[in-house]
Amino acid sequence: MLTDVPGPDSRPSLAARAMLRRDAVRGVDLVLLPERVITLNPTAHAIVTRCDGRRSVREIAGELERAYGRAGLEPSVARLLGRLGEQGAIRW
């Protein structure tokens, strides 16, 4: 169960022990952690690549809303980042 959903002003970044990599053979993007590998779908990759510690959850969602022509993405972005944070891939 997700317990740590970030607020809209939280500024996520990739955790120090996490690495974002592309598996060219399988054609997928991954977050590599010491104890696990997280496979990212294209949407999750678009979110994680924006986690630079400067942009807020609200700003990341806004960029994606403009890029994809969709509104109301902030709750979904926050939930995904919360799950990745629980797995140790994202820090606040």
The structural domains of the chain, with segments of one domain joined by +, span 13-91
Determine the Cα–Cα distance for residues 29 and 39; give it in Å rounded to an integer: 6
Q: Domain 13-91 in CATH: superfamily?
A: Coenzyme PQQ synthesis protein D (PqqD) (1.10.10.1150)
Best CA proximity match to 80, nearest among 67, 55, 61: 61
pLDDT tens for the chain, residues 1 to 92 = 555 678 999 999 999 999 999 999 999 999 999 999 999 999 999 999 999 999 999 999 999 999 999 999 999 999 999 999 999 999 98
pTM value is 0.91
